[in-house]
């Protein structure tokens, strides 16, 4: 049997929403490959990985763990820079350790910048993904709604993404034995425009695991916003949108979930709306993931005002409970939101158009159980076809 070395940055079956693709990938290929997995030791993931392997009857899969170095002992609770240094160090250590011409899969950490290091090892045959994150922040639209300091930050972020894209594309051109797994159809179309003809590009997502069996019943008119209260998530924009919705829909209310540097300013902005509106907006602060899911499930609309998202699992969780989603028209959202909500063009009159979309979603968007099952069946069918094509390609020696 052929050997397949798999590096998955922070594997944890308990976080199934994050790792559905790598777990499914490992399980499918274990029939015809001797598989070794390398990941970081984190929280209780040794126990959960062992339990998952036993449940899937993958007794021959070997697992190697790395310890955090730069972010020790805080691990995942370390600041983002230290965690990035650890993941890059882990990738370098792993790819230097596997033999030349090995078949290697690097799965996890969706942003394409975390998939640059493997491309430096040209003699390895690579399967990389799921990959996303090529989209730039809309500077023209964000300039109207962000403070100058935050907007300048996004100017530099865009420059960094462009530089990273150039490096990624350049390395891809010099490394012919590569297959890419894309997280969204928009990322796939973008990569196909410049990928080398020998590079295979698949789209495998995990959307379908969030679909319940049946559509949930109609709920009360609650709009929920959930996330870190930072400029990229734009909670102050959400306040303006929600205020307009509550003025038009007298029986609606709103909930903010999350904490962060903009929390005080967001609470102040709500207080300045007047008592009639402010008393219908509640702040929950930082809550547990289970509590967050419960609040989202009990709401009618999830409002997503982020200027940039690679993939938002809160959107998937909303779909699972039949909570409609209204978001900015950005690549991490468009594949998902069109099925059960609305996307808003950031180049238009953002606050009125967002408010209109939320209001009409509250009032008009009713999905029948038949429609829900039809969409679910299509998503599951598309995902299964693409995943089977990937597995068949690997098993037939496509990466040789």
Between vectors from CA 201 to CA 199 and to CA 206, what angle results, nearest 5°? 150
What distance in Å separates the CA atoms of residue 8 and residue 38, rounded to the nearest whole number?
6
For the beta carbon of residue 286, count every other beta carbon within 10 angstroms.
13
170 plus 303 within the same structural domain = no
Segment 181-195 shows an average pLDDT of: 83
For the beta carbon of residue 272, count every other beta carbon within 10 angstroms.
11
Distances (CA, A) of 120 to 175, 292, 312: 9, 40, 29
Query: Is the residue at 243 inside a domain?
Result: yes
Structural domains of the chain, count: 2
54 plus 160 within the same structural domain = yes
214 plus 194 within the same structural domain = no
Peptide bond into 138 cis (omega under 30): no
220 plus 265 within the same structural domain = yes
Question: Which is more confidently placed, 159 or 59?
Answer: 159
Its sign, for the CA torsion 47, 52, 58, 64, is negative
Per-residue pLDDT at 316: 74
Question: Which is more confidently placed, 318 or 6?
Answer: 6
What distance in Å separates the CA atoms of residue 344 and residue 54, rounded to the nearest whole number?
45
Checking if the pLDDT of 322 tops 80, the result is no
Checking if the pLDDT of 141 tops 90, the result is no
| 3-class DSSP state of 326 | strand
Both tokens assigned to 15 = 């976080």
326 plus 229 within the same structural domain = yes
51 plus 185 within the same structural domain = yes
Instruction: Give the tens place of pLDDT for each residue, 103-127.
Output: 788 887 778 888 899 988 877 888 8
Query: Is the residue at 222 inside a domain?
Result: yes
Q: Where would I find the H helices in the chain?
A: 16-29, 45-55, 80-97, 116-119, 139-143, 148-174, 185-194, 235-248, 263-271, 275-278, 289-297, 313-320, 331-337, 350-364, 369-395
What distance in Å separates the CA atoms of residue 381 and residue 293, rounded to the nearest whole number?
26
Cα–Cα nearest to 160, from 113, 222, 100, 93 = 113
Question: Which is more confidently placed, 215 or 261?
Answer: 261
Query: Is the residue at 374 inside a domain?
Result: no
Instruction: Give the tens place of pLDDT for each residue, 190-217.
Output: 888 888 788 888 887 766 666 666 666 6
Per-residue pLDDT at 111: 81
Question: Which is more confidently placed, 376 or 35?
Answer: 35
Per-residue pLDDT at 376: 75
Q: Which domain holds residue 69?
A: 2-209+379-395
306 plus 362 within the same structural domain = yes
Cα–Cα nearest to 289, from 321, 253, 313 = 313
Query: Is the residue at 105 inside a domain?
Result: yes
| 3-class DSSP state of 76 | helix
127 plus 220 within the same structural domain = no
Phi and psi at residue 64, to the nearest 5°: -115, 135
Question: Which is more confidently placed, 160 or 362?
Answer: 160
Per-residue pLDDT at 72: 72
What distance in Å separates the CA atoms of residue 39 and residue 162, rounded to the nearest whole number?
29
Task: List the CATH number of the domain containing 43.
Answer: 3.40.50
Checking if the pLDDT of 246 tops 70, the result is yes
Query: Is the residue at 400 inside a domain?
Result: no
Checking if the pLDDT of 359 tops 80, the result is yes
Checking if the pLDDT of 218 tops 60, the result is no
223 plus 277 within the same structural domain = yes
Residue found by looking up tokens 């509640």 in the block: 282
Confidence of residue 368 (pLDDT cuts 50, 70, 90): low
Residue 115 is classified by DSSP as G
Q: Quickly list DSSP for 89-109.
A: HHHHHHHHHSPTT-EEEEES-
Segment 65-70 shows an average pLDDT of: 90
Instruction: Give the tens place of pLDDT for each residue, 75-101.
Output: 556 677 888 888 899 999 999 998 877
Mean pLDDT, the chain, as a whole number?
84
What distance in Å separates the CA atoms of residue 342 and residue 355, rounded to the nearest whole number?
11
Query: Is the residue at 244 inside a domain?
Result: yes
117 plus 247 within the same structural domain = no
Residue found by looking up tokens 């909930």 in the block: 255
Confidence of residue 332 (pLDDT cuts 50, 70, 90): low
Task: List the CATH number of the domain containing 297.
Answer: 3.40.50.2000
Per-residue pLDDT at 73: 59
Confidence of residue 311 (pLDDT cuts 50, 70, 90): low
What distance in Å separates the CA atoms of residue 373 and residue 389, rounded to the nearest whole number?
24
Question: Which is more confidently placed, 267 or 184?
Answer: 267
Confidence of residue 4 (pLDDT cuts 50, 70, 90): confident
Per-residue pLDDT at 181: 87
265 plus 165 within the same structural domain = no
Residue 139 exposed, middle or buried by CB count within 10 Å (0-12, 13-18, 19+): middle
Per-residue pLDDT at 263: 93
203 plus 220 within the same structural domain = no
Query: Is the residue at 372 inside a domain?
Result: no
Query: Is the residue at 373 inside a domain?
Result: no
């Amino acid at each position: 049997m052929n050997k397949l070395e798999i590096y998955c940055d922070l594997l944890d079956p308990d976080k199934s929403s994050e790792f559905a693709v790598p777990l499914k990938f490992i399980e499918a290929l274990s029939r015809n490959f001797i598989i070794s997995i390398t990941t970081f030791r984190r929280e209780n993931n040794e126990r959960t990985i062992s339990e998952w392997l036993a449940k899937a009857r993958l007794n021959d899969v070997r697992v190697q763990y790395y310890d955090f170095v730069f972010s020790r002992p805080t691990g995942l609770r370390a600041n983002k820079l230290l965690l990035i240094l650890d993941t890059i160090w882990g990738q370098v250590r792993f790819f230097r350790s596997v033999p030349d011409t090995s078949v290697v899969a690097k799965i996890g950490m969706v942003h394409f910048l975390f998939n640059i290091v493997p491309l430096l090892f040209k003699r390895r045959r690579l399967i990389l993904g799921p990959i996303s994150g090529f989209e730039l922040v809309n500077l023209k639209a964000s300039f109207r709604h962000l403070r100058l300091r935050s907007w300048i930050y996004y100017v530099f972020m865009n420059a960094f993404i462009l530089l990273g894209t150039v490096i990624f594309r350049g390395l891809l051109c010099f490394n012919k034995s590569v297959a890419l797994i894309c997280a969204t159809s928009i990322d796939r179309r973008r990569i196909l425009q410049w990928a080398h003809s020998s590079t295979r590009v698949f789209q495998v997502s995990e959307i379908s695991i969030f679909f319940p069996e049946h559509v949930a019943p109609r709920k009360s008119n609650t709009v929920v916003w959930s996330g870190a209260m930072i400029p990229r998530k734009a909670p102050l924009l959400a306040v303006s949108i929600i205020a307009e919705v509550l003025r038009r829909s007298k029986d609606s209310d709103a909930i903010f979930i999350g904490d962060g540097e903009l929390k005080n300013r967001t609470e102040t902005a709500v207080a300045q709306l007047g008592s009639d509106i402010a008393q219908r907006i509640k702040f929950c602060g930082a809550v547990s993931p289970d509590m967050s899911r419960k609040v989202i499930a009990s709401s009618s609309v999830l409002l997503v005002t982020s200027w940039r998202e690679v993939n938002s699992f809160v959107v998937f969780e909303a779909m699972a409970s039949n909570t409609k989603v209204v978001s900015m028209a950005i690549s991490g959202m468009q594949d998902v939101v069109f099925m059960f909500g609305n996307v808003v063009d950031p180049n238009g009159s953002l606050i009125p158009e967002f408010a209109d979309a939320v209001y009409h979603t509250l009032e008009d968007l009713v999905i029948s159980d038949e429609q829900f099952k039809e969409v679910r069946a299509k998503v599951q069918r598309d995902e299964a076809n693409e995943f089977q094509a990937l597995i068949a390609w690997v098993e037939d020696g496509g990466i040789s």
